[in-house]
Amino acid sequence: MTMDAPPAISDRRAWETVLQSIESELLSGALKPGDHLPPERQLAAELGVGRSSVREAVRVLEVLGLIRTATGSGPTAGAIIVATPSGGMSALMRLQVAAQGFAVADVVKTRLLLEASVVAELAAARAGDSAQSHHAQTTDPLDPARKLLDAMDSPALTEAEFLALDAQFHVALANASGNQVVAAMMSGLRNSIESYVLAAVPNLPSWPRVAARLRVEHGGILAAIEAGDQTDAAAHVTAHIRRYYAESRLGPPNSP
């Protein structure tokens, strides 16, 4: 019941009308990845809402990883449907951890659960692959993970640089499994506790020793996957994650 609200739709929920309309167009296929959103002015006129409501809905879609907007221009000028879920998942989980909607312990438990399943599945796929002799596979889905391990061998890395590559290694394993939902979740889980992980580095007994051990453990995870041993791969990754979190005494800074 604000003064400048259009007759049919209360100003309070006008932005939701925009969001629902775009969701319907996505579901029907009228809008798909690569398409541009109609201009702000046009959307506002078509839906009978104010331009500011269109802008609010566009920001929501941007944070959820549904659209990319061009720099320097107005909100919908050049807004393209992209469907990149990782960014949205990271924003959501990071804010929920910050607001204590998600406990750090639950984030770590969920990571263990997803990651044990990811490496077991990768090992199973590898075992299946080697059973078929002479298959012509052009690219190995584990290559990005291997390259990250090579990069982590550099002794010149700072702690933050090493840990950033380490996070990427784990997300690369999730990507290799080919399940985009699990990959986005893994990326979100890791990003959501990034600040806690960095803050906990001084709790570690000796960074050089820890880094050396992490390198060995990462190699062990990859070797178990390559050997096609599901149980061993899951056991390696579980021990690796548990040990690091226990040793760094990871937790929210203001936890009881």
Residues from 173 through 202 that contact a copy of itself (CB under 8 A):
179-182, 184-185, 189, 195
| C-beta of 89 vs 210, nearer to a copy of itself | 89
Q: Is 235 in the site for a copy of itself (CB under 8 A)?
A: no
Smallest distance, a copy of itself to C-beta of residue 145, A: 19
| C-beta of 55 vs 240, nearer to a copy of itself | 55
Q: Is 37 in the site for a copy of itself (CB under 8 A)?
A: no
Per the rule left: phi > 0, alpha: psi between -120 and 50, beta: everything else, 65 is left
Contact 253, 143 (CB under 8 A): no
Q: Is 125 in the site for a copy of itself (CB under 8 A)?
A: no
Q: What is the CA radius of gyration of the chain?
A: 23
Written as one letter, the residue type at 143 is D
End-to-end alpha-carbon separation of the chain, Å?
A: 44
| C-beta of 67 vs 152, nearer to a copy of itself | 67
Residues from 16 through 35 that contact a copy of itself (CB under 8 A):
19, 23, 26-27, 29, 31-33
Contact 170, 190 (CB under 8 A): yes
Report the distance separating Cα 95 and Cα 219, nearest Å: 33
For residue 226, give the nearest of 186, 185, 176 by alpha carbon.
176
Q: Is 122 in the site for a copy of itself (CB under 8 A)?
A: no
Report the distance separating Cα 141 and Cα 65, nearest Å: 24
Interface contacts to a copy of itself, rule CB under 8 A: 1-2, 10, 12, 15, 19, 23, 26-27, 29, 31-33, 52, 55-57, 59-61, 63-66, 71-74, 81-85, 88-89, 91-96, 98-103, 106-107, 109-110, 113-114, 117, 179-182, 184-185, 189, 195, 254
